Amino acid sequence: MRVAVVHSGTSADAIDVALVDIVTDERAGVTDMTPLILTDVAWPSALRDRVLAIALGEPVSIAEVARLDVQIGEAFADAVIRAGCHEADLVVAPGQTVYHWVEGGRTRGTLQLGRSAVIAERTGAAVVSDLRAADIAAGGTGAPLMPVFDGAWLGAEAAHSGEAIATLNLGGIANISRITPVGTASGWDTGPANGLLDAVVMRATSGRESFDDDGYRAASGRVNRHLLQIMEGHPYFAQAPPKSTGRETFALDFVDAAVHTLGGDVPVDDLLATLVRLTARTVAESLRRAGGASTLIASGGGVRNSALMASMGDALAEDGCTLTTSAERGIDPIHKESLLFAFVGYFSAHAIPIALDPKVGPRVAGVTTPAGWAANTRVSSIGEMQIRERHMK
Ligand SMILES: Nc1ncnc2c1ncn2[C@@H]1O[C@H](COP(=O)(O)OP(=O)(O)O)[C@@H](O)[C@H]1O
Ligand SMILES: [Mg+2]
């Protein structure tokens, strides 16, 4: 099956698009994934600005939510077509997360925009969306989804080596998966990653720069230890996994409040250096408390930030854990999430329940919107309608 994927993470840095050929050999119990296209397409800039503003907590009207839902759907459909993925059998479109509702430590809901009907109509393919809703409805955290993929990808390696293997996705938020030798796969969000770095850079440059290229600024700054300590006091870090968070929890007000508590100004580069160390330390600490791992395989845009990778390597080395990237095992780190969505969406389209959260148990992960003109095999036309009397027994 040719599966197209279109998505954008919490950073909303670009619209990621992929086309993956997926074949399952049921007898061997193996699913082969062959990436055919892995690319990204720029967001329409005004749309991206609104998405980012909303993700960072700006108030928004219901009317605008309704408009954005369609406009994001259109942008995603255009991205699929422009990337040359329009001949897919299926489009997996998890949508742009605009809100993640967590209350009292429990995930209650999540909202992704990018209307599936618009994508189905424009691409002519069936669309799988809403990958997190069923898990959350059943009491799960709905995020991260990566452990399912990592368990299937790395389970055999962990069993063979007898040691746990972890993966780390450095997107707007950082999330970990931990795969044990006995085959359990758990995952959680450790806290902020690129999202805060981007927000600080954008504000400091009045929007001229949107990220700290290669971590250059962070590398030239100095970690403010007292500020780091204040930030590490956020209750999210003390919470035990499974847990998930979003950009509304770790936005600029989190940084500003910490700087305010510190009293006095902190130069931007020092702030970035401190945030980089915060990400590295909270990832390492969180993994240690979960039992550790021999190797941590990183992916996501953050692997391009050398300052972040260096800090991460140092923090993990203290626990005897080696940092590497998914490139060393054949997955382009920038596009690993696309492969994840292809994998999950493929099983959703086949109505195969998968366990996103081991405590909740397997659920069919997504909602399928059929291709607009696809005929149902049992009922092929509507025809005339008659009202009949109910037969009483
Ligand atoms: N060359 C680079 N140098 C530093 N950071 C980078 C670079 N390229 C990408 N990034 C970071 O990665 C982020 C995007 O990562 P990505 O995995 O796409 O996150 P998300 O899933 O949240 O969209 C950017 O916002 C930026 O912070
Ligand atoms: Mg991205």
Mean pLDDT value of segment 40-57: 91
Residues 6+ apart with CB under 8 A from 114: 6, 69, 72, 73, 75, 76, 93, 95, 96, 129
Proximal ligand: closest to the CA of 189:
1
Cα distances from 32 to residues 106, 158, 330, 364, in angstroms, run 35, 19, 13, 20
pLDDT per residue over 306-324, tens digit each? 999 999 999 999 999 999 9
Of 37-46, 89-98, 239-248, the poorest mean pLDDT is in 239-248
Long-range contact set of residues 376-382: C-beta below 8 Å, sequence gap at least 24: none
Task: Read off the DSSP letter of residue 304.
Answer: G
pLDDT per residue over 287-299, tens digit each? 999 999 999 999 9
Q: How confident is the model at residue 170 (pLDDT cuts 50, 70, 90)?
A: very high
pLDDT per residue over 112-151, tens digit each? 999 999 999 999 999 999 999 999 999 988 878 899 999 9
Mean pLDDT value of segment 229-244: 94
In this prediction, residue 55 carries a pLDDT of: 80
Ligand 1 center–CA 345 separation, angstroms: 24
Q: Which of 386, 14, 337, 366 is nearest to 174 (CA)?
A: 337
Find out whether the peptide bond into 242 is cis, omega within 30 degrees of 0.
Answer: yes
Ligand 2 center–CA 40 separation, angstroms: 9
Proximal ligand: closest to the CA of 52:
1
Max mean pLDDT range (25-29, 133-137, 230-234): 230-234
Residues with CB under 6 A from ligand 1: 9-11, 13, 171-172, 194, 197-198, 211-215, 300-302, 304-305, 337
What is the bridge-based pairing of β-strands 295-299 and 165-170? parallel
List of domains in the chain = 2-142+337-369 (3.30.420.40), 163-331 (3.30.420.40)
In this prediction, residue 26 carries a pLDDT of: 87
DSSP letters spanning 211-241: S-GGGHHHHHS---HHHHHHHHTSHHHHSPS
This prediction has a pTM of 0.91
Measured between its terminal Cα atoms, the distance across the chain in Å is: 48
Structure tokens at 75: 């942008």
